[in-house]
């Protein structure tokens, strides 16, 4: 047991001291068994206070430390570092949260808050008395990363890591890189096109010797743990014998082969506005190589007769790699309205924003859709976002980018085509930050903005070839506005990728919005609960391009910092099994969400053993054990019971 514990009670400016009598707390705990000193500090986390604690530990020969302040989520590692600098084992430090759990929670009852703070600090002292000097396990790590998704987030992350010396496997299930950005024309506010942005990234990727790019590739399994993940990749063939495709007349014969292909399917790159063959190449996409669409190819062989470099029989290959970390940058899908939602699928001239963006790119001098020249466009916002009240679906979040993207598309249409009138049906416009300039440009140019409540959304109808949009407009005192238009564009939000395979393989949890979930949006914004697995870009939620690139930088930095040293220090808080008590029943394995329990033979019987590299110290395996053979290092039964006793005094 500890004999000399230092207790530091933080006023946190006035966040704590306005509601908790910190002097009364100090007086109540200073004579507790094992307490050598008890101090009040203005800001415990301040550099000056940290140095004071270091000096106290050395001069007073403290063997334990309690800091009563804010959430351990904010400063757990701050005070662990203080302990280490002073020569104390960092796991002999215990934090008592008297801000979030006491002063903020009970600001209306300061007397009761003070009493609760006293009990909380006493409980922390009781635990510190029994705390062990733990040693963090250290494992080796491969300075190799896998980046899943070769859109702008994936390519940016791969380049950042590769430029610091990390070897990177960059994979994408598509045969072309660029993700959604490749589908867009001019991008706001830079004025670059999506093609230009992607081409720039791609050129850097293929020149970087530390990056291995696999398109048409998926991760199909994962084993191992942080620092040493064993990943199995399935690499799909493009269906072209690339070595033989270098002959001078290959391009000419390829075009004839594409023309001869009898299979025509809707081109998902153009969101179904155009068709392509089962043998195709996509103009301007990277790599600039042809592809056989294996899903739709009938293997009729007509293309092979013209162009023998085409091999419709080539099968997938598999490759096993070992990596230290994985960055998931799988992007998003645009929301697909349901049948009849604002007339979608029932009225011909109702399309989505993503279709309209492609329509701008593939149109000539006039903007036409179907058999109609488009002059008046109705833009209905928040389709697939902020869906509450009478709206369908469960997407209650704001997709952030849609307002800017929709207004920018309207501005582009007016600039490219003569006589365009834009009428925006919104529920409030959110062009935040510097993006506000596009809203100003649209307004000054004469775009009309109408606004409705969540429970009074626009109604789209179609009669005698005329499309009509009706809404009760807040901005004119709930006056009913009714407008005939040539085209309705549904400004759709972002939703998670429909294919969740990578999440299942990597065991990444999702949030209420169904996007992959980070540990904490402020403190650990790109980390997942699985050590070594990080998130980048819109795989974790709606973002614009600038935000996507910023998050990708962060993911690269975090992943590089973790694996670049060749060794990783793990948290020692993990399950520990008493093999003499254990009689293998398997209940701990059933309860473990990380499958960190294995079996082994011990003194003639089968017992459970913990995989220390994957155990997260969650404690889920403890309650089901019928013989209480499992303890949690750093949170033993003795420590927890001592805290309960202190709280119950």
What confidence score (pLDDT) does residue 638 get? 92
Per-residue pLDDT, 316: 87
For residue 231 the two structure tokens come to 């990943």
Whole-number Å distance between alpha carbons of 343 and 349: 9
Return the CATH class of domain 242-315.
alpha beta
pLDDT at 309: 87
Name the CATH topology of 5-134.
Rossmann fold (3.40.50)
* Tokens found for residue 158: 């791969």
Does 333-495 match 144-230+320-331+507-566 at the fold level? yes
Pairwise CA distance, residues 272 & 351, whole Å: 11
Is the Cα torsion angle 247, 178, 280, 255 positive or negative in sign? Answer: negative
Report residue 441 as tokens. Answer: 């440009």
pLDDT at 245: 57
Contact 323, 144 (CB under 8 A): yes
pLDDT of res. 284: 76
Structural contact between residues 69 and 117, judged by C-beta atoms closer than 8 angstroms: no
Strand 167-172 with 211-215, pairing: parallel
Q: What is the pLDDT of residue 560?
A: 96
- Domain boundaries defined on the chain: 5-134, 144-230+320-331+507-566, 242-315, 333-495, 575-633
Would you call the peptide bond into 643 cis, given omega within 30 degrees of 0 as the criterion?
A: no
- Find out whether 70 and 40 touch, Cβ atoms under 8 Å: no
SS3 287: coil
Burial of 622 (0-12, 13-18, 19+ CB in 10 A): middle
Helix (H, G, I), strand (E, B) or coil at 202: helix
φ, ψ at 131 (rounded to 5°): -65, 150
CA nearest to 548, candidates 59, 187, 56 = 187
Counting residues of the chain whose pLDDT is more than 70, the rounded percentage is 98
575-633 has which fold?
A: Alpha-Beta Plaits (3.30.70)
What is the CATH architecture assignment of 333-495? 3-Layer(bba) Sandwich (3.50)
Distance CA 12, CA 43 (A): 5
Cis previous bond, 183, omega within 30? no
> Which structure tokens are listed for 121?
């600090």
Question: Residue 129 in contact with residue 151, Cβ under 8 Å?
Answer: no
Contact 467, 447 (CB under 8 A): no
Q: At a CB cut-off of 8 Å and minimum separation 6, what does 390 contact?
A: 454, 455, 456, 457
CA dist 643 and 625 (Å) reads 22
Residue in 295, 453, 470 with CA at minimum distance from that of residue 389: 453
Structure tokens at 324: 């230290």
Per residue in 343-369, pLDDT (tens digit) is 999 999 999 999 999 999 888 889 999
Question: 532 Cβ partners below 8 Å, 6+ apart?
Answer: 225, 226, 227, 229, 324, 325, 326, 559, 562, 563
Q: What pairing do the DSSP bridges indicate for beta strands 466-473 and 291-292?
A: unpaired
Exposed, middle or buried: residue 440 (CB in 10 Å: 0-12, 13-18, 19+)? exposed
Q: What is the DSSP letter of 475?
A: G
Closest CA to 167 of 220, 208, 224: 208
pLDDT of residue 247: 64
pLDDT at 393: 60
Distance in angstroms (rounded) separating the CA atoms of residues 374 and 614: 58
Taking the domain 144-230+320-331+507-566, which CATH number applies?
3.50.50.60
DSSP 552-602: HHHHHHHHHHHHTTSEEEPP---EEE-TTT----SHHHHH-TT--EEEEEE
Q: Which helix (H) or strand (E) segment is 75 a member of?
A: helix 72-85
pLDDT digit string, tens, across residues 181-202: 998 989 888 889 999 999 999 9
pTM, full prediction: 0.84
pLDDT at 120: 96
Q: Residue 251: what are its φ and ψ, rounded to 5°?
A: -60, -40
Contact 197, 171 (CB under 8 A): no
Q: What pLDDT is stored for residue 465 in this prediction?
A: 86
As a whole number of Å, the end-to-end CA separation of the chain is 20
Using an 8 Å Cβ cutoff, are 455 and 390 in contact? yes
3 state DSSP class of 366: coil
Residues of the chain short of pLDDT 70, as ranges, are 243-247, 389-394
Query: What are φ and ψ of residue 260, in 5° steps?
Result: -80, -15
């Amino acid at each position: 047991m500890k004999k000399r514990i230092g207790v530091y009670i933080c006023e946190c400016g006035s966040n704590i001291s306005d509601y908790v009598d910190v002097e009364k707390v100090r007086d109540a705990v200073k004579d507790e068994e094992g307490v050598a000193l008890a101090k009040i500090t203005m800001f415990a986390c301040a550099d000056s206070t940290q140095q004071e604690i270091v000096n106290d530990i050395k001069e007073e020969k403290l063997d334990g430390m309690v800091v009563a302040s804010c959430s351990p989520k904010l400063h757990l590692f701050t005070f662990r570092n203080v302990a280490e600098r002073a020569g104390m084992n960092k796991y002999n430090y215990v934090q008592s949260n008297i801000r979030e759990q006491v002063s903020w929670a009970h600001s209306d009852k300061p007397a009761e808050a003070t009493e609760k703070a006293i009990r909380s600090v006493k409980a922390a002292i009781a635990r510190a008395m029994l705390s062990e000097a733990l040693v963090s396990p250290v494992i080796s790590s491969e300075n190799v990363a896998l980046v899943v998704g070769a859109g702008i987030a994936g390519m940016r992350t791969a380049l950042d890591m590769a430029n610091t010396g990390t070897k990177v496997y960059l994979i994408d299930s598509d045969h072309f890189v660029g993700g959604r950005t490749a589908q867009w024309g001019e991008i706001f506010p830079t004025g670059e096109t999506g093609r230009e942005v992607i081409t720039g990234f791609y050129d850097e990727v293929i020149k970087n010797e530390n990056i291995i790019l696999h398109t048409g590739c998926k991760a199909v399994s994962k084993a191992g743990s942080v620092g040493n993940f064993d990943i199995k990749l399935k690499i799909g063939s493009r269906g072209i014998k690339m070595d033989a495709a270098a002959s001078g007349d290959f391009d000419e014969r390829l075009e004839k082969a594409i023309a001869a292909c009898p299979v025509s399917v809707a081109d998902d790159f153009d969101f179904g506005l155009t068709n392509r063959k089962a043998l195709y190449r996509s103009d301007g996409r990277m790599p600039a190589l042809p592809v056989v669409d294996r899903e739709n190819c009938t293997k009729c062989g007509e293309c092979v007769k013209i162009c023998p470099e085409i091999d419709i029989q080539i099968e997938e290959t598999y490759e096993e790699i070992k990596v230290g970390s994985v960055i998931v940058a799988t992007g998003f899908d645009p929301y697909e309205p349901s049948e009849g939602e604002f007339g979608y699928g029932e009225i011909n001239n109702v399309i989505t924003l993503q279709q309209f963006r492609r329509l701008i790119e593939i149109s000539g001098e006039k903007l036409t859709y179907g058999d109609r020249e488009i002059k008046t466009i109705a833009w209905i916002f928040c389709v697939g976002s902020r869906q509450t009240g009478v709206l369908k679906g469960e997407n209650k979040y704001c997709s952030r980018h849609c307002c800017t993207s929709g207004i920018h598309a309207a501005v582009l249409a007016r600039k490219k085509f003569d006589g365009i009138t834009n009428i925006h049906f919104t529920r409030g416009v959110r062009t935040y930050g510097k993006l506000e300039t596009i809203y100003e440009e649209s307004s000054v140019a004469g775009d009309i903005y109408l606004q409705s409540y969540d429970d009074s959304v626009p109604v789209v109808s179609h009669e005698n070839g005329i499309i009509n949009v009706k809404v009760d407009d807040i901005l004119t005192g709930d006056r009913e506005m009714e407008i005939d238009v040539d085209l309705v564009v549904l400004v759709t939000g972002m939703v998670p990728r429909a294919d969740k395979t990578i999440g299942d393989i990597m065991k990444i949890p999702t949030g209420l919005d169904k996007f992959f979930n980070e540990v904490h949006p402020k403190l650990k914004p790109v980390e997942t609960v699985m050590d070594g697995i990080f998130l980048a870009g819109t795989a974790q939620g709606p973002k614009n391009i600038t935000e996507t690139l910023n998050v990708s930088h962060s993911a690269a930095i975090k992943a590089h910092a973790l694996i670049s040293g060749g060794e990783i220090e793990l948290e020692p808080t993990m399950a520990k099994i008493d093999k003499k008590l254990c009689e293998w029943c398997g209940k701990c394995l059933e309860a473990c969400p990380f499958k960190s329990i294995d079996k082994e033979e011990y003194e003639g019987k089968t017992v459970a053993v913990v995989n220390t590299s994957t155990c997260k110290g969650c404690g889920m395996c403890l309650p089901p054990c019928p013989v209480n053979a499992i303890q949690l290092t750093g949170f033993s039964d003795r420590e927890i019971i001592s805290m309960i006793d202190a709280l119950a005094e």
